[in-house]
Every structure is written in C-alpha cells, then in structure tokens.
Structure 1
Amino acid sequence: MKKLIVTGIDGNFGKNVAYYIQQLIPKESLIFCSYNKAALKEYQDSGIETRVTDFNNITGLDQAFSNGSKLLLISMPFVGIKRQNAHKNVVDAAKDAGVEQIIYTSLVNADGPTNPSVEKKDHIYTEEYIKQLGLDYIFLRNSQYAEAMITNYFTFAKDDGILKNSQGNGLMAYISRKDCAKAAAYALASNNLHHKILNINGMEAMTISKFIEIGNTATGNHVTYQAISDEENYQVFDAMGVPRTTDGIFKKGSEAPFSSDGMVTFSQAIRENKMATCTQDFQKLTGSNPLTVKYMFEHAADFQIGERHSLDK
C-alpha cells in the first residue's frame, strides 16, 4: 500500500501538519520527512515511518520518496535560486519515485504578473515546474500568516505604540499558519481533488488599520498605524537586525524571522491590492471556518510567529 508523504515536519508549519494529518490518516499510511533526524524520533517512536532528507542534494531523494502516492511539499524557508533548486530536486525525485500528486504550499496571487512580491517568483516557478513534469497537483495559495502581524503588533506595542509599515490601505485576508497547515493536511488526505488551485484565506480581507483596531480591542493596547515608504520600511527592519535576504544572518530570538526583502515587497503587494483575494476555499476543503483575527488576538500567546526552525544547512 502506498503512503502519504509529509516533508519538513521539523518546521513550524510542518509540525502543525504532522498534528492534523494524524487526525485524518492512520499512522501506518504516513511517511514523515526531515533533514533533522532528531526531529523525526518522536514520530518514529509512535509508529510512523520516517525518512531523513536533504532537499539541497537530490542524491537518494527518490529512495526517500519511494512507496509514496502523494507528497506535501512545504515551501522552503529561504528565498531565491536556492529555494527553486531545492524544490526542483523534490519534484524531480518525487516523479522518479512514482509519486502521483504533489500538494504545494504556494502564495496568494502567485501567478499575478504585476505582483511585486519577491516570494512569489519562487512559488510560481515551483507551480509551473510541477505542471511541466505532468504531475497531478493541488496548489494551496496561502494568504499572509496572521501570526507574523500579531508578533509585529506586539513588537510596536512594546516600543512607541506606532506600527509602521508600507501596506497603506491595501487588503489582506489574514489567516493563521495553523489553519494553513490544517488545509494542507486535508488536501493531502483528499481523494477527489486533482489539478486544483485553492486559495487559503482568512474570514475577511482587511486593512492593517482594521487589524490593529481588532488587536487593540482584544488586548487593551492603544497601537496606532503609520504608513511609511518601502525604503523606510527597510530601515525599520534594518534597525531590528533583520537581514535583507535569507542568505543573511538572523538575529538570535528575532521577532521577525523572515528577510526584509520578503516582508517589504509583501507590504508593497498588499498596498497595491495584489493579494486581496478572499474565498471560501478553506471552508470547502476542511468543513470548518478559519480562525478569526479577533480569536487569535484573544489567544495571542498561541499565535506568535516563532523562530526559524527549518534552517538551510
């Protein structure tokens, strides 16, 4: 019997997928993968088959993906050619191993020709490469993680109380990373989805000002919003010790574990309403509503972005 493969279970996203998929699929039908052997031990001890994988090196990846019918590729935590090459290695190896379908965690409006996000370049590359090889697919185009902006909110609440970025009045349907992981688990477990693109969005598209207003009501803080230019936004992250690219050095315990190139161009895309997509795809896939921004602020300790767990070797 062929199994379902979950990659990247050592990361923040992958750990959540590992939790949800076990609610849907028997352990004997799963294979969990990670470059970190220690991260696999608890799952191996529980009876789940595990494989050590290094996506930067294609050698042996096809053997790691053997006996798999479907594979969840969680996008890697670095940006640019390295990520594209790593994803290509996974897709090539999956095809060679006889995997029939790839579920890929992409980005809302990944195929938008005028979307300025640097992140989207890697996502559309991966989507197109999966199609090029003739594999079946489910592309999960996720909205921005609410956790990133909730963490950002509290950073400014502890500082001068003015949240500054270059999103302006653009709209984003913020969604929890946990819900994105839940959607990924449901897509992997599905039997009737083929050649599908699903937009995984929160309950409503909102401006950052409304996001802050919800946060203030839930927490009692009095954070305000200040729109700044993209260059000023870079300077904010420079002052926080955030590198401009994922090749840079991330400050230990940084409250912004993403590169500023990614975050600033994300803000630009939001400002230009290139990511305002808000659909019911999550509800149709999972049978439940996504968590609201209000709920996440009310339980803010459970919805912080956290440190970078999946690291490039």
Structure 2
Amino acid sequence: MGKLLLTGVDGNLGGFAAEELLKLEPKENLIFCGYNPDSLKKYADMGIETHVTNFNNPDGLKEAFQNAEVVALISMPFVGVKRQNAHKNCVDAAKAAGVRQIVYTSLVNADDETNPSVEKKDHIYTEKYIQEQGLDYQFMRNSQYAEAMVTNYFTYAKMNAPLTNSQGDGLMAYISRKDCAKAVAYALHHSNEFSKKVWNINGLELMTISTFCAIGDVSTGNHVPFVNVTDEENYQIWDAMGVPRTTDGVFLKDSEAPFSSDGMVTFAQAIREGKMDIHTKDFTELTGATPISVRYMFDHQEEFQIGERHSKDN
C-alpha cells in the first residue's frame, strides 16, 4: 500500500492539514510536499518523506509522487489559466506515478454553470480533468473561509465604518479554514472507504453577512453594521485599499485582503444570487466533529485571521 501525500504544507490550509494528519496517521505513511524547502525541514527532521514541488513546473513531480497512493491537491492561491495549468501538472504527475485517488479542495456549488464566481471556473475545470484522467477522487467543496470575513470585520471596525460589499442578504455557511484542513486530513485518512465522493464542507449554519457582523458585535463590543453596495462600488472599495483586481497584480505585504478583487466581488455576487447557500452535515459525517461556530471564532479572533499569502505564482 502506498503513502498518503499532502501538498501545500507550506501554506495556511496545507499547514493546518499537516497538523491534523499527524494525529491520524503514523509518519511512515506520509509524504509532505511544498515549494518552500525551509518549511519542509521540520517534517523531514521528524522522519517524514518530503519533496520540494512547484506545480507551475511539471519537472520532478512524477518522482515526488512515486511512493504515493493518494494525493491531496490543495488548490493554488491564484486564479485563471495559471491555476488550471498548475493543477493539470499535478494531476498528470499523479496519474503517471500510479496514484489511485486525488483529494481536491474545491468550492461549494462548483458545478453550477450559473454560479458567477470566477473562482469556481478553475475548480470545475480541475474536477472534470481529474475525472477525465480516470482517477478516483474525493472533491472537498468548501464554503467560504470564515477567517476572511473575520479579518474583514476587524478592518472595518478599526476604521469605525460599516462593513461594505455587494453580497446583500445572500446566505453562506461560513466555515473555518481549520475545519477545511481537518476535512482534508480525514479524507486522506479514510481514502480507502470513499470513492468518487463529493463532500460539501459547510459551517455550522447558514447566515447573512448582517448576522455575521451582529455576532461579531456581541462578541467584541464593536459596532460594525453591514451596508450593501453595487458590484462596481465593491470593486472601487478594493481599488482604494490597493487590492489588485486579479492575482497577476501586486499584493501589498501584510495586506488584510490577500485575495484579488475579481475573486471577492464575483464571490459576493454568487452569495447574493443564492448560489452558495448549500448546507449539509458532510463535515460531521467525515470527521465526527462539529464545525467551529462563528461566535467561537470571534471569541478567539486572534486564532482566526486570514493571514498572509503563501504562494509561488511564477
């Protein structure tokens, strides 16, 4: 039996998934990959097989995957053809190395053609490509990271201003990135039990962004109401903050919004149009745990910030 391989351990989601996986599996069963050699050293020192990988370049990927039976592909933090090509390189290498199954971190409602989110185009491309290659799979269709909106909430709290975007009264089951990481770890751990499986990894409950802000107010004592604007006004807000419209742009160091505005505005549109209001018990079925609540995240807000970008986009 081959090993369980986790990519992106030098990133936020992948790092949390590595911590969870080490609770579930002996280190002899694991392979950890990332583009940053420094981040791999601590795992190598533990006796875990590690490989430096950059999915923008297919060279060496097949060799890195050679001992793996299952590969968890953590989706790249950029958008468009660049991400699609990076994912394709990973899938091609996995197939060439004889990998049986790919666990892929996708997006809630990725296969809905009417979903306007630019992010979902890359996710459905990757899902379909994995299927076309004849590989087994588990697709982890994650709801929006609550950390992104917790960080956003405090950005507006510091400005003593209402949180402003264009998602209206749309519903989202906000989930912690840590729970998404836990789901990836458990999908790897139980990979022999599930085949051609789609998981909707949702938070504890559906809510509007107004409710989200109200929970934050009760927890923190701030007053951050929500104000809805048009999509174009939403773009202008991000422009004023120095956020690039695409991931080809320049990201400010330590930015509180480490995502492109194209991704965020079309995501808000998708929420507003009811394209993201999926709520299941899949997370609990897979992990046996209850999703972390939004209130808990606000009560422990220092542990639930979005953090810096960890990507190699070239």
Scaled by the length of structure 1, what TM-score is found? 0.99
Which residue number in structure 1 is paired with residue 29 of structure 2? 29
For residues 177 and 35 of structure 1, the distance between their equivalents in structure 2, rounded to whole angstroms, comes to 21
The residue number in structure 1 matching 2:295 is 294
In structure 2, the partner of 1:197 is: 198
Task: Name the SS for the 1:247 alignment partner.
Answer: coil
1:247 matches 2:229:
no
The corresponding residue for 2:265 is 264
Query: What pairs up with 1:1-313 in 2 under 5 angstroms?
Result: 1-190=1-190, 191-313=192-314
Give the letter aligned to residue 54 of structure 2. D
1:164 Cα deviation after fit: 0.3
Q: CA deviation at 1:304?
A: 0.2
SS of corresponding position for 1:78:
coil
Q: Residue 311 of structure 1: CA displacement?
A: 2.8
Structure 2 unaligned segments of length 5 or more: list them. none
The CA deviation at 1:285 is 0.2
Q: Alignment length, in residue pairs?
A: 313
User: 1:105-132, CA deviations, whole angstroms, 9 ceiling, x for partnerless residues?
Assistant: 0000000010000000000000000000
Q: Quote the offset at 1:60 in angstroms.
A: 1.8
Ranges of 4+ aligned residues in structure 1 off by more than 2 Å: none
- Taking the aligned partners of 1:50 and 1:60, their CA distance within structure 2 comes to 13
Letter of the 1:236 counterpart: I
In structure 2, what residue type is equivalent to 1:74?
I
Instruction: Provide the aligned C-alpha RMSD in A.
Output: 0.7
Q: Tell me the CA shift for residue 161 of structure 1.
A: 2.5
Asked whether the equivalents of residues 167 and 271 of structure 2 are also in contact (C-alpha less than 8 Å), the reply is yes
Per-residue CA distance 1:79-112 (angstroms, 9 max, x = gap)? 0000000000000000000000000000000000
Matched AA of 1:132: E
CA distance in 1, matches of 2:231, 2:188: 37
Deviations 1:180-222 (A, max 9, x none): 0000000011020100000000011100000000000000001
Structure 1 range deviating more: 290-299 or 49-58: 49-58
SS of corresponding position for 2:210: helix
Helix, strand or coil at the partner of 2:71? strand
Is the Cα contact below 8 Å between 2:54 and 2:312 reproduced in 1? no
Q: CA separation in 2, counterparts of 1:14 and 1:198? A: 18
User: Aligned partners of 1:61, 1:80: CA distance in 2, in Å?
Assistant: 21
- DSSP 3-state at the match of 2:32: strand
One-letter amino acid matched to 1:22? L
Structure 1: distance between partners of 2:20 and 2:138: 18
Q: Alpha-carbon deviation of 1:309?
A: 1.5
Contact 2:212–2:294 (Cα < 8 Å) also in 1: yes
Task: Provide the rounded CA distance (Å) in 2 between the counterparts of 1:23 and 1:310.
Answer: 26
Distance (whole Å) between structure 2 residues aligned to residue 58 and residue 104 of structure 1? 18
Letter in 2 for 1:138: Q
The SS at the match of 2:99 is: coil
- Looking at structure 2, the residues matched to 2 and 200 of structure 1 have their Cα atoms a distance apart, in angstroms, of 26
SS at match of 1:32: strand
Instruction: Check whether the contact 2:35–2:312 (CA below 8 A) recurs between aligned residues.
Output: no
8 Å CA contact 2:175–2:203 kept in 1: the answer is yes
What are the superposed Cα offsets for residues 7-63 of structure 1, whole Å, 9 maximum, x if unpaired? 010001110011000000000100000111111000000111101111111122111
3-state DSSP class of the match of 1:261?
A: helix
Identify the range of structure 1 (47-56 vs 94-103) with the bigger mean alpha-carbon deviation.
47-56
Contact kept? 1:136, 1:195, Cα under 8 Å:
yes
For 1:59 and 1:249, locate their aligned partners in 2 and report how far apart those are by CA, in whole Å: 27
Read off the aligned partner of 1:289 and give its amino acid letter: T
Question: AA paired with 1:209?
Answer: S
1:67 offset after TM fit, Å? 1.1
- Opposite residue 251 of structure 2, the aligned amino acid is F
